[in-house]
Amino acid sequence: MMKCKKNIIIIVMISILVFSLGFGANAKAFRVAVIMPSSISDLAFSQSMYDALLTIQEEMGKEEFQFVYSDNMFVVADAAAAIRDYASEGYDLVIAHGSQYGSSLVEIAPDFPNTSFAWGTSVNTFSDQGITNIFAYEARSEEGGYVSGVLAAKLSQTGTIGVIGPIETGDAKLYVDGFKAGVLATKPDAQVNVNWIGSFSDVALASEAAQTHINVGADVLTGTAQMVVGAIGVARQRGVLWFGTQADQTSLAPEIVVANQVYDWTVALKPMIQLVREGTMGGIIYVLTLANGGLKIVVNQEALVGKTIRDIIEGKIDIEL
Amino acid sequence: MKYKNVREILMNFIPIAAFFLALLIGAIMIAILGISPLIAYQALLKGAFGSMNAIADTVVKATPLLFVGLGICIAFRAGVLNIGGEGQLVAGALSATVVCLNFPNLPGWILIIIALFVGFLCGAIWAGIAGFLKAYFNVNEILSTIMLNYIAAYGMNYLLSGPIMDPLQIKLGSFIPQTARLTQAVDLPRLIPTRLHFGTIVAVVFAILVYIFLWRTTIGFRIRMIGQNIQASRASGINVQKYMVLAFILSGALVGLGGAIEVLGVHHRIFTDGSVSGFTGSAGFNGIVAALFGQLHPIGTIPASLLLGALLTGANKMQRVVQVPSALIGALNGLIVLFVVGSEYLRRHQTRRVERTMKIENKNKKENK
Amino acid sequence: MEAIIIGIAKSAIRLATPYLYASIGETIGQLSGVLNLGVDGVMLMGAFSAFYTVLKTGNLILGLLVAIVVGAIFGLLIAFINVTLKAEQGISGIGVYIFGLGLSSLLFRTMVGTVQAVSGFPLLFIPLLSNIPIVGEIFFQQNILVYGAFALVPISWFILNKTPLGLSIRAVGQHPEAADSLGVNIVRIRYLTVIFGGMLSGVAGASLSIALLNVFQQNLTNGMGFIAVALVYFGAWRPLSVLSGALLFSTVNAIQIWIQVKGINIPSDFTLMLPYIVTIVVLAAMAKRYVRPPKALNKPFERGE
């Protein structure tokens, strides 16, 4: 009897040892640090990256994947210090989520050959300067813009469509150009009015821009960047349709937000993380497109047909057969 | 008497006590968020002074604050408040960049000197517009400088979106609002292999120059007199208007120089996000705080900007380590300013009270003799 | 043509509303001798408190009241620092701004987290008046809080010019020693005006978050508070002139938006500059008579000095 108990104890102890060794082997989580120019709750550019990282963490589990972030880093010098600091703290992948961070990355990346860096939106991995540990990523936001433009042209009854943008640069410009192209391809005589309000954060100005667009006849609006929340509010108030981008803006005005181009950065991040684990630190450009699922068009049924459905149910519509 | 001396010494510590009181309240806020204040503040110290890179970052952050602070010193001594720092920084930075972009063939050091001088000049001009408007059209300088801040920002947006946009951006199709990276020839030399650059030395030199100007020249003396007693200055025949405008212009010049140095020493290009502080990072406002912490004395502004630079740099590190929301840093920054500002005058007020009491005592002594 | 004018005018009036609230509040404070550059920070705190209250309770009046109380608390803080502690007013104002911006963003992040819309104060069509062609649509089909801002102008004019309180306020700002010797409680008057100014800044913020924009975001005001302070100087400390300044600035803003929307070929950055340039130019053109600020502005009061 004593010998049996002793054996059991030994077996149990060895099992515990083996298990802990096993856990020890997996304990090296993949650590990511991300730097963003605006708030993670901006319902636009920064939030899309934050949401993507959360998704990956949910899929991989908190033991396997950890990430930290520094948002509101609109001062590039501070962002540079953050990038450098995270790199020196041994993070596996440091994401500089803002096109203004590129020049800082070029200086920092060579100092940390064992750290992988990624930045966007951009297509420059600086490999022509001999740098091998920078990934670049971009979104072909003009594709979703085009789709929204086509739908907008079909839905517009007045033929006038308004666009509200921050500054004519980068991602915003791509989206707006694509949207315009989509509208004009569908309805060549449509009037697309674009205005750039000169900032990413002037909500009041965006709101008044929306009012003005509607005053000159627009019955469909779109816009990009975080200040459009003001425009969406006006659209809702005046019963004008809205097309969103960078995030799903339906929650702000479910009655009128027709469709949103949503960025799914995991399409870029997942292969990136895989490559880094295998030892490739950079040099690849990732592009989010409709084809690879990085860009998704999320249509809001409520805005499109919700009222019609309700009217039928409530008997307000008499369908003549 | 001894007691009163000790009291005087203690009173100089009031602003420091206020500083720590603000940090204490910050600690409470951090604790409410579920983070250990001890770890947080440890990270803050480490971020400000914990390594060569950290110290370099602190000093680099402090440098534009020093330039702006010096400008504020001069203006304040004449009794004017210059809140156009953001616009003047942009004016200086833009002009220096344009110079460097357009004369790439000149030898580096000549171009640096010209660019810095142009930055100095354009900052002076930008402030000068406000001064001119005040002197000849009675336009209040607080209004004009606020407006000019925005005008400068939009002007910069315009230039960066087209005329001086990085050709590489246009080629790549990404259209980021920034200029090309300036040639390495106009990089300010690094002092040690970190981000620390020569501009800091320039700043300290100018601090000394400003001190000499304010305390050892006639013009400086008059400027200070206007700030202390405007009636007496007028009575003694000083053209108050002229000297106030001059102080304003000099103020802008120093700020503009600071902007130019930020370009040549730190960023090597100009960029923006469209907002007023897109390039400056609110250095125009933080510099005002630095000037106050330095008792509006040019030499005092040196440690003051260093302290503020350390605070800002360390706070960023704190955010990274304990993942506290970045907004907390702003709130903490504001709290510190409020507490120190609140304690400042109190300290001076108490000092004057002590002086008055001492005067009465001396008078009594004399009478008793 | 008619529609264009109506559209621009309505825009201008909406845009002017937050400026009016904040500017009038700052005017009263400055008339009593206290400079507050932190208006933007108080506006943000007012905007957030109103937004959060409406988000959680749906009660608009309560939201407005909370904004007023929060504004008053900040006013109290500012008064304490500037009047009792006799701090350097220009700089303490900047501290208030930085603090208000940071605190409102922090509270938004931790208590709300993501951008959401609320149902704010609705439009109020004034019976009869709103039916007048053109004028009716421009002036009498606006949001409730818009009417409040414009009503504030004659009210403040009346208080400042036709009541003993107004006289005391102005006296405290011009000749505090004389007022003091006549028994006016300088400290009490200044506390009153600054707290009232804070309340109005709070309402200005609320007008954005629960009336005009119906949303809150970090840095919602985007520097509006500073423009509001600038407009005080434009208005030479007179409510009616402050109104014209706010309307001038906002009208040019509304026009430049319209110019851009219409696609008129002027670079957007230049049209964006217009409101600021025009404000300076108009003020310069107007300043024929020398305008004196309140003599005691930005000077803490000490008896016997």
State how far the Cα of B156 lies from the Cα of C227, in Å rounded to an integer: 20
Q: What does the pLDDT average to over A139-156?
A: 94
Q: What does the pLDDT average to over A220-228?
A: 92
**pLDDT for B9:** 67
Q: What does the pLDDT average to over B222-230?
A: 88
Q: What does the pLDDT average to over B194-200?
A: 85
- What is the domain range of residue C153? 2-122+138-286
**CA dist B345 → A41, B350, C192, C250 (Å):** 40, 8, 22, 38
Chains touching chain C, criterion 3+ CB pairs below 8 Å: A, B
Please name the residue of chain B whose CA is at the shortest distance from the CA of residue C105: B327
Tell me the pLDDT band of A247, cut-offs 50, 70 and 90. Answer: confident
Phi, psi of A262 (to 5 degrees): -105, 135
Q: What does the pLDDT average to over A63-92?
A: 90
In a domain, B336, yes or no: no
**pLDDT for A13:** 61
CATH at residue B230:
1.10.3470
Please name the residue of chain A whose CA is at the shortest distance from the CA of residue B180: A103
Alpha-carbon distance A288 to nearest alpha carbon in chain B (angstroms): 15
Q: What does the pLDDT average to over A59-87?
A: 90
Q: What is the pLDDT of residues C154-185, one digit of tens each?
A: 999 999 999 999 999 999 998 888 888 888 88
**pLDDT for C255:** 94
CATH at residue C96:
1.10.3470
Alpha-carbon distance B257 to nearest alpha carbon in chain A (angstroms): 18
CB contacts, 8 Å: B317 with chain A: 85
C141 or B174, which is more confident = C141
- What is the domain range of residue B139? 36-323
In a domain, C168, yes or no: yes
Alpha-carbon distance A242 to nearest alpha carbon in chain C (angstroms): 15
Q: What is the pLDDT of residues B1-47, one digit of tens each?
A: 455 667 666 666 777 888 889 999 999 999 999 899 999 999 999 99
Identify the contact set of chain A against chain B, taking CB-CB distances under 8 A. 33, 37, 68-78, 81-82, 84-86, 88-89, 99-100, 102-103, 121-124, 166-170, 173, 198-201
> Residue A285: enclosing H or E segment and its boundaries?
strand A285-288
Q: What is the pLDDT of residues B132-153, one digit of tens each?
A: 898 888 888 899 999 999 999 9
**pLDDT for A22:** 45
Please name the residue of chain B whose CA is at the shortest distance from the CA of residue C83: B342
Domain count, chain C: 1
Q: What is the pLDDT of residues A274-285, one digit of tens each?
A: 999 998 998 999
In a domain, C228, yes or no: yes
Q: Supply the mean pLDDT for chain B.
A: 87
Residue showing tokens 């405008």: B245
CB contacts, 8 Å: B154 with chain A: 198
CB contacts, 8 Å: A198 with chain C: 268-269, 272
Tell me the pLDDT band of A5, cut-offs 50, 70 and 90. Answer: low
**pLDDT for B197:** 87
Alpha-carbon distance C100 to nearest alpha carbon in chain B (angstroms): 7
Residue C275 predicted with pLDDT over 70: yes
Q: What does the pLDDT average to over B198-225?
A: 93
Tell me the pLDDT band of A10, cut-offs 50, 70 and 90. Answer: low
Question: Which of B243-252, C141-150, C166-175, C282-291 is predicted least confidently?
Answer: C282-291
Instruction: Determine, for residues B331 and C99 on separate chains, whether the beta-carbon distance falls below 8 Å.
Output: yes
**pLDDT for C287:** 66
- Residue C62: CB atoms within 10 A of its CB come to 14
Let me know: does B75 contact B247? Beta carbons within 8 Å.
yes
Q: Determine what percent of chain A is predicted with pLDDT higher than 70.
A: 92
State how far the Cα of B177 lies from the Cα of B157, in Å rounded to an integer: 7
Tell me the pLDDT band of A100, cut-offs 50, 70 and 90. Answer: confident
Measure the CA dihedral A193/A199/A203/A209, to 10°.
-20
Architecture (CATH level 2) of domain A141-255: 3-Layer(aba) Sandwich (3.40)
Tell me the pLDDT band of B234, cut-offs 50, 70 and 90. Answer: confident
B216 or C290, which is more confident = B216
Q: Where are the alpha helices (DSSP H) in chain B?
A: 2-12, 14-32, 37-49, 52-77, 85-102, 108-137, 141-161, 167-172, 199-216, 218-228, 230-235, 240-262, 283-293, 298-322, 326-368
In a domain, C131, yes or no: no
Q: What is the pLDDT of residues C84-122, one digit of tens each?
A: 888 888 888 999 999 999 999 999 999 998 888 888 898
CB contacts, 8 Å: A201 with chain B: 275
CB contacts, 8 Å: A162 with chain C: 261
Q: What is the pLDDT of residues A197-215, one digit of tens each?
A: 888 888 999 999 999 999 9
B169 or A30, which is more confident = A30
Is the dihedral angle over the CA atoms A47, A49, A50, A55 positive or is it negative? Answer: positive
Q: What is the pLDDT of residues B68-127, one digit of tens each?
A: 999 999 999 988 889 999 999 999 999 999 999 888 888 888 899 999 999 999 999 999
**pLDDT for C76:** 96
Residue showing tokens 């408190």: C49
Instruction: Determine, for residues C14 and A208 on separate chains, whether the beta-carbon distance falls below 8 Å.
Output: yes
B184 or A95, which is more confident = A95
Please name the residue of chain B whose CA is at the shortest distance from the CA of residue C285: B137
Q: Supply the mean pLDDT for chain A.
A: 88
Best B55, B154, B174, B271 member to test A by mutation, with max A CBs in 10 Å, is: B174
Most confident of A15-19, A71-75, A226-230, C15-19: C15-19
Q: Does B239 touch chain A (CB under 8 A)?
A: no
Residue C290 predicted with pLDDT over 70: no
State how far the Cα of A163 lies from the Cα of A53, in Å rounded to an integer: 30
Residue A176 predicted with pLDDT over 60: yes
Global pTM value: 0.90
In a domain, C293, yes or no: no
Q: Which CATH class name applies to A27-139+264-294?
A: alpha beta
Q: What is the pLDDT of residues C183-215, one digit of tens each?
A: 888 899 999 999 999 999 999 999 999 999 999
Domain count, chain B: 1
B206 or A304, which is more confident = B206
In DSSP notation, C163-222 reads: SHHHHHHHHHHH-HHHHHHTT--HHHHHHHHHHHHHHHHHHHHHHIIIIIS-B--TTTTT
Chains touching chain B, criterion 3+ CB pairs below 8 Å: A, C
- Residue B33: CB atoms within 10 A of its CB come to 17
**pLDDT for A24:** 43
Q: Determine what percent of chain B is predicted with pLDDT higher than 90.
A: 48
Structure tokens at B93: 């930075």
For residue A66, give the amino acid letter. Answer: Q
Supply angle C-alpha C128, C129, C130, rounded to 5.
95
